[in-house]
Structure 1
Amino acid sequence: MPRLWFDPIDIWISDSTRRTVTSVEEAARLLVDEWPDPGDTCDARLFAMEACYAALKAKTPKTIDVARSAFVEAAEAAGML
């Protein structure tokens, strides 16, 4: 399956670990498996998860853009930007 690429997003996973996210697949994996606070159920994170799943299913430029924007909002809400 081809990757669903988007413009890079630099986030901080921890105080000393920075990561660049470049695809919907990577964003979804981070949201589900590698989020610093796995119990975080804030609306921004939940919306980002839904947006990533929608993009993975639809694979359209619009859904990819929505997923990227939602991921940025979730990362900002978590203090990762």
Structure 2
Amino acid sequence: MLKVKIKIKEVLKQRNLTQKQLESMSGVSQARISKLTKEDRQEVNLEMLTRIAAALGITDISELIQFEEVPDNEHGPDSK
């Protein structure tokens, strides 16, 4: 199964930036940036990602997002 991985944490670390600094650069609140980096997030707001990418000078979306292979749920209806 594929899962969308948001790589904001990695990008910030590479560029020696904090979420608070990114907030100032992009206009996206630090709280929303933090939510985007959580593994259990259910949605991705494309407008926020676009603003973050523009603030960081990113033109290749693969720098921010990638698909990640995760094991299928082993506790499906047929498993015991």
TM-score range, shorter chain: 0.3 to 0.5
Normalising to structure 2: TM-score of the pair?
0.38
Higher Cα Rg: structure 1 or 2? 2
With CA pairs under 8 Å and 6+ residues apart, which has the higher RCO, 1 or 2?
A: 2
TM-score (norm 1): 0.38
